[in-house]
Amino acid sequence: MNVTDDDVAHPVILAEADPAPETLPEVAVHLIAPGAYARAALDLAADHGTRLISLVLVDPEVDEHDPRLWETLRRIEVPTLVIAAVPEQTTSVVKAQSIAGGVDNGVFVIIDGAQAPSHRTRPDSFREWSTAFMVIAEGLATDRIDPALLFPAPVQEER
């Protein structure tokens, strides 16, 4: 993936299972959800968006015929980046583009010549796009997220 906490001010979480609120730390985070984890990440963003600074969907695999998907997208206020791998000019991007278009703060990016999953096959391109997006989202987060989740109090060491 190559996006690290050193690239942005807040933690970056890569979903390696369906993300759920209880799996998130006690601070606001950036969530990256590849492939089949996209649907659960969208639900999390719709229901617990104040825990997320940004959502990055990588080559999302969702059922676009599920009417609940479109209702979920309308409820998301989290800045969302949808990245699609396009290995050939004939590759359809309709599904990924529709997801980005269904989110109020959705952005759509194509990585030309990449095979899915693009965060693994073209890590440099993925890192550049996602890091730039996360930095922008951090600047917008103070209007949407409780400051205690953005800037938690430092832990006091016992003497």
What was the pLDDT predicted at 23?
A: 85
Check if the beta carbon of residue 49 is closer than 8 Å to that of residue 67.
no
Confidence check: pLDDT of 153 > 80:
no
Mean pLDDT across the chain: 87
For residues 15 and 70, what is the distance between their CA atoms, to the nearest angstrom?
22
* pLDDT computed for residue 92 by the predictor: 83
- Over the stretch 56-96, which tens digit does the pLDDT of each residue have? 999 999 998 999 999 999 999 999 999 999 878 888 888 99
* Residue ranges per structural domain of the chain: 12-142
CATH fold label, 12-142: Rossmann fold (3.40.50)
